[in-house]
Amino acid sequence: MRTAKFWMGTLLAGALALGYGCGSDASKDPVPQDVPQQQLPDAGTDAGVNLTLTDAQIARVLQVANEGEVMLGQYAAPLATDEAVRDFNNQMVTEHTAVKQRLDALLAAEGITPEDSPLSLQLQTEVQQLMLILQGPDAPAKGAALDLALISAQLNAHARTAFLADSLLSPQVSSEALAQEALAERQAVQQHIDEAEAIQSDLVLPPAMP
Read off the pLDDT of residues 102-136 as tens digits, 9 standing for 90 and up. 999 999 999 999 999 999 999 999 999 988 888 88
* Number of continuous H segments (helices) and E segments (strands) in the chain: 7, 0
**Over residues 11-37, mean pLDDT:** 35
Read off the pLDDT of residues 149-202 as tens digits, 9 standing for 90 and up. 999 999 999 999 999 999 999 999 999 999 999 999 999 999 999 999 999 999
Q: To which H or E segment does residue 109 belong?
A: helix 83-110
Identify the band that residue 9 occupies on the pLDDT scale cut at 50, 70 and 90: very low
SS3 76: helix
**Over residues 90-107, mean pLDDT:** 98
Q: What b-and-e string marks burial along 103-133, b requiring 16 or more CB atoms within 10 Å of the CB? A: beebbeeeebebeebbbbebbbebbebbbeb
In the predicted model, is pLDDT for residue 39 greater than 50? no
Separation of alpha carbons 136 and 46, rounded Å: 34
Question: Residue 10 CB: number of other CB atoms within 10 A?
Answer: 16
Identify the band that residue 23 occupies on the pLDDT scale cut at 50, 70 and 90: very low
**CB contact at 8 A, 125 and 64:** no
The pTM score is 0.76
Q: Give me the architecture of the 2-204 domain, per CATH.
A: Up-down Bundle (1.20)
Identify the band that residue 40 occupies on the pLDDT scale cut at 50, 70 and 90: very low
**CB contact at 8 A, 193 and 104:** no
Would you state the pLDDT for residue 206? 64
Separation of alpha carbons 181 and 189, rounded Å: 12
Identify the band that residue 205 occupies on the pLDDT scale cut at 50, 70 and 90: confident
User: Which whole-number Å values give the CA distances from 113 to 36, 59, 89, 93, 116, in the listed order?
Assistant: 32, 8, 29, 24, 10
What are the boundaries of each domain within the chain? 2-204
Separation of alpha carbons 63 and 85, rounded Å: 24
Would you state the pLDDT for residue 141? 77
Handedness of CA 135, 139, 142, 146 (dihedral sign): negative
User: What average pLDDT does the structure give for the chain?
Assistant: 80
Separation of alpha carbons 16 and 43, rounded Å: 19
